A and B are shown apart, each in its own frame.
Chain A
Amino acid sequence: EPEVTQTPSHQVTQMGQEVILRCVPISNHLYFYWYRQILGQKVEFLVSFYNNEISEKSEIFDDQFSVERPDGSNFTLKIRSTKLEDSAMYFCASRGAGAYGSNQPQHFGDGTRLSIL
């Protein structure tokens, strides 16, 4: 069964450094997302992306964050200058074509655990 893959599984970075998290969505999917989950807390939406544009972003997704689909397969999340509070599990998700609320669920990868020192 097709799946969303994320690399690396664990990233350790010094505060203030840039980090890029990578995702390969399911191949025929058109909608892409990033979520994060701080340890012991709920999954939180960061950003949605469709047709090479951000569709929606949350308050968490400030100027330090950016997303890109550099080629036909990868989808990346960049944090320019990491902070201690960016430490979390970051999940990429994708879904197939269909209007909002259609029977096209979001499928998640297993995440990248980001640790900021």
Chain B
Amino acid sequence: GQNIDQPTEMTATEGAIVQINCTYQTSGFNGLFWYQQHAGEAPTFLSYNVLDGLEEKGRFSSFLSRSKGYSYLLLKELQMKDSASYLCAVTDSNYQLIWGAGTKLIIKP
């Protein structure tokens, strides 16, 4: 079966750095997305990785290792507004998008 694993919940301190991991077992791979979802709101796009390596976008970076079936989202200089759920999603060889359950990130002052 197809599976995406993310930690259910993480806690971090304002101003710190946090890394949210995502491991996947899918039938093939055609890209990996990270979305952010604030409570009561819709998911919004953060990043897309299709090749191995690190993609940096401001305070957020996303890393991919296709051989390991692994990605992480790195958030630097955490702000209170970063409190949200972070969803990992993988496009498989049939171009189906498989969604993870999401990681709820709690930022404490």
Answer yes or no: are A and B bound together in one complex. Answer: no
Partner-A contacts on B (CB < 8 A): none
A interface vs B, CB < 8 Å? Answer: none
